[in-house]
Amino acid sequence: MTITLGPTRIERVTEVDHWPFPPAALFPAVTPRHLCCADGDLDLSITTHVVRTPDAVVLVDSGNGNAKQRPTLPPHDMFATDYLDRLATTGVRPEDVDVVVSTHLHPDHCGGNTRLVDEKWVPTFPRARYLFSRTEFEWLASIHAAAPAEGPGAALAATFADSVLPILDAGLADLVDVPATVAEGIDLVAMPGHTAGHLIAEITGGGTTALVTGDVLHHPLQFTDLALAQAGDADPDLAARSRRIVCDRAADLGAVVLPAHFGGPDGGRITRAGDGFRYADR
């Protein structure tokens, strides 16, 4: 489904439709109050967004990617999806992409930057400039330099090695200081907390705004408690403040909200509900 903002078009391309997690694995402080009527695992997706302006094709996040060895982070380990075929259904081939933006450098948001060819990791989008938040890049580079052997840190170090470093080696990486403008109508806005350099993309056109929110929000149950931290939040308090900023802005603007891990093909809307917020698919 295409979301039209004046001359700009946005299409959601889902890499994984069903990505289930036990509630406590996703949100360590979750309570029955948060879950309300939810039963069993929380079913997420992994979704990327193609933004086409009159002058550029921009991919916001590239998904987890295939054949990435993440044994210390099993939900990200050794995918074999048809993501590029799904991308092709939008009329976009890898060589058509002008810019790839990473909302942050967790494995499921930047792993698709590269693909394995003849036992070598090469850029998936060979003509694109890859934009990395300078803060985010320096954070992940420091983890790679420390070479952790266990736990999530090992998976993050591997992410730098196979999904970021090959982009640098190919001369396709641009480190940006946020806020930054990608193309006309596409602005990057810092929303830290989940990671130090996490950003969102704010897209405007035709009098309408869309917010590609990355991992500011992981699941609609967070709207019942914006302080509910996801297991990967580096700074839970800061992440909660960013959630509120995004919710306030989305509600004030009537923006189309495009999360990475939930939502329908047309995105959703955030509205105020008393002192809190409510999310609904469009």
Q: What is the pLDDT of residues 70-129, one digit of tens each?
A: 999 999 999 999 999 999 999 999 999 999 999 999 999 999 999 999 999 999 999 999
CA 21 from centre of chain: 17
From residue 64, give the alpha-carbon distance in Å to each of 47, 113, 259: 10, 9, 15
pLDDT of residue 39: 75
Average pLDDT of the residues in 9-28: 97
CA 202 from centre of chain: 13
Q: What is the pLDDT of residues 217-272, one digit of tens each?
A: 999 999 989 999 999 999 999 999 999 999 999 999 999 999 999 999 999 999 99
Can you tell me the distance from the alpha carbon of 122 to that of 239, in angstroms, rounded to the nearest whole number?
A: 33
pLDDT of residue 117: 98
Edge to edge, what strands does the sheet with 276-281 contain?
180-183, 186-190, 199-205, 208-214, 256-259, 268-273, 276-281
pLDDT band with cut points at 50, 70 and 90 for residue 33: confident
State phi, psi for 244 to the nearest 5 degrees.
-65, -40
Residue 204, classed as helix, strand or coil, is strand
Can you tell me the distance from the alpha carbon of 264 to that of 72, in angstroms, rounded to the nearest whole number?
A: 31
> Residue 38: is its pLDDT beyond 70?
no
Can you tell me the distance from the alpha carbon of 50 to that of 57, in angstroms, rounded to the nearest whole number?
A: 7
Please give the share of the chain, as a percent, with pLDDT higher than 90: 95
Residue 123 has a CB neighbour count (10 Å cut-off) of 22
Q: What is the pLDDT of residues 161-213, one digit of tens each?
A: 999 999 999 999 999 999 999 999 999 999 999 999 999 999 999 999 999 99
Structural domains for the chain: 2-281 (3.60.15.10)
The mean predicted confidence, pLDDT, of the chain is 97
State phi, psi for 18 to the nearest 5 degrees.
-130, 115
pLDDT of residue 37: 66
Structure tokens at 224: 């019942």
**Dihedral angle at the C-alpha atoms of 181, 186, 188, 191, nearest 10 degrees?**
160
